Amino acid sequence: MLIETVLLRNAALVATFDDAERELSGGWILIDGPAIAAVGGSGEAEPAAGRVVDASDMVLLPGFVNTHHHFYQTLTRAVPAAQDVELFDWLIALYPVWARMEPPAFRSATVIACAELLLSGCTTASDHTYMWPNGCTIDEQIAVAAEIGLRFHAARGSMSIGRSGGGLPPDSCVEDEGAILADTDRAIGAYHDRAPFAMTRVVVAPCSPFSVSENLMRESAALARARGVHLHTHLAETLDEEHFCLERYGCRPVELAERLAWTGDDVWFAHAVHPSPDEVRRLGATRTGIAHCPTSNMRLGSGIAPIRAFAAAGARVGLGVDGSASNDASHLLDEIRHAMLLQRVLGGAGALSAREALRLATRGGAAVLGRDDIGALARGMAADVAGFRIDTLPLAGGAAHDPLAALVFCRPANADFVMVNGRTIVERGTFVRLDIARLVAEHGRHARRLVSGA
């Protein structure tokens, strides 16, 4: 048993994000297999362990949770045609490019997104892929995440209304609704793990209520509830969307979601930027989840989601980096910083503290994904740990006063140490098993070929 234990010791600070919000200077964490066995501070005797990792000059936190992403979009970061346009024009510019994507590029994009997330201290992520061109599959994504070691909630997205049906995407990007439900059901059966510490879960996730039929939205909710899995989609991202909803359905987006049985503690929405006070109350009362994506909302000029009002109303709120084409960075600490800063534009300097922003990315994200085994460093929780060095140039000065807050206020750093489910993924700032230079070069070749159409 001793062989399997790991002791992370002598940390400058262990920020637990447990119920008591303990912050332990000179702290240590004992890990036994996939779980945390004990956590202590400098005043408590350190236990023996099979392997000891020196965490001097590091802040240790629970690994961050990313609640919304589109991994494949790493191939289309900073594409000139989509740099300076709002959501609908952005989609129109990018759909034809994504429609050309083939499995080797899709696989490479998944590797790059997982690696970038992990290196930013993220240990659990949900991905929302809603088009599966040319034989790209959820199976491939799940295999890549498992191989790299990221805890993964694969949201099986879909679109069924193409241009000929009055939608935005080319017809070649959309699927038959029967096939969507059948493949989603298959993925749940093949991969969804209900057990504690599960590394793979499956989510039912049509792209948005406007890219599939009302019937598919209802059938998706029924499927998810019959199989005990969660539901995810985009909602209330832009004012354009709100106008479209009012025109087409005669109601606001949240009312549409309610009609379709899409609220509750098994549902989470990406964005929710433009809710009315009544919509905030309804999502709060049903404990619906929100993936707040501040960078994407700024990048596309979408607006500022009122996340304090959501949380006060009872909604579950976490953070998402969103797709790499509308954020261009899959960096959770960067997202945490932007969440803090953007709320201040809305509500003043006291609107969101560094610790509150970090809590959104840990406990908040865990709640959004429906998990009680991640998001805190405490006995019995999964051994998902991110360690950041504080003896660095960007943190000079900041770390001397408040090392935890400095991680958010100062320039976002990469993690120096990352462990997922007891497995060490990053050590001394480097991946233990991945050759990043080779993977980046390969991804660059795929990205150039995809966008040029060659």
Binding site for Zn ion (CB under 5 A): 270, 322
Question: Where are any strands of DSSP class E within 223-303?
Answer: 230-235, 267-271, 289-292
- Smallest separation (angstroms) from Zn ion to the CB of 437: 29
**Closer of 236 and 426 to Zn ion (Cβ):** 236
Is 264 exposed, middle or buried, given 0-12, 13-18 or 19+ CB atoms closer than 10 A? middle
Amino acid in the structure at residue 286:
T
Residue 1 in tokens: 């048993």
CB 307 within 8 A of CB 320: no
Amino acid in the structure at residue 366:
A
**Closer of 290 and 408 to Zn ion (Cβ):** 290
**CA 223 from centre of chain:** 23
Give the H/E segment covering residue 368. Answer: helix 365-368
**Closer of 241 and 322 to Zn ion (Cβ):** 322
**CA 65 from centre of chain:** 6
**Closer of 157 and 422 to Zn ion (Cβ):** 157
- Smallest separation (angstroms) from Zn ion to the CB of 413: 26
- Smallest separation (angstroms) from Zn ion to the CB of 241: 12
- Smallest separation (angstroms) from Zn ion to the CB of 203: 13
**Closer of 146 and 239 to Zn ion (Cβ):** 239
- Smallest separation (angstroms) from Zn ion to the CB of 300: 10
- Smallest separation (angstroms) from Zn ion to the CB of 238: 12
- Smallest separation (angstroms) from Zn ion to the CB of 113: 13
- State the CB neighbour count (10 A cutoff) for residue 189: 10
Longest Cα–Cα distance in the chain:
68
User: Which residue from 242, 295, 237 is spatially nearest to 269, judged by alpha carbons?
Assistant: 237
Cα–Cα dist 188/139, whole Å: 11
**Closer of 77 and 389 to Zn ion (Cβ):** 77
- Smallest separation (angstroms) from Zn ion to the CB of 208: 9
- Smallest separation (angstroms) from Zn ion to the CB of 69: 8
CB 111 within 8 A of CB 439: yes
- Smallest separation (angstroms) from Zn ion to the CB of 156: 15
The DSSP bridge pattern shows strands 122-129 and 64-66 to be: parallel
Q: How far is CA 454 from CA 294, 375, 401, in A?
A: 34, 44, 53
**Closer of 270 and 418 to Zn ion (Cβ):** 270
**CA 147 from centre of chain:** 18
Amino acid in the structure at residue 213:
S
DSSP 137-149: -HHHHHHHHHHHT
CB 398 within 8 A of CB 410: yes
DSSP 322-340: --TTSSS---HHHHHHHHH
**Closer of 118 and 270 to Zn ion (Cβ):** 270
- Smallest separation (angstroms) from Zn ion to the CB of 213: 20
Burial code (b: 16+ CB inside 10 Å, e: under 16) for 23-47 equals bbebbbbbbbebbbbbbbbeeeebe
**Closer of 116 and 322 to Zn ion (Cβ):** 322
**Closer of 55 and 304 to Zn ion (Cβ):** 304
**Closer of 290 and 381 to Zn ion (Cβ):** 290
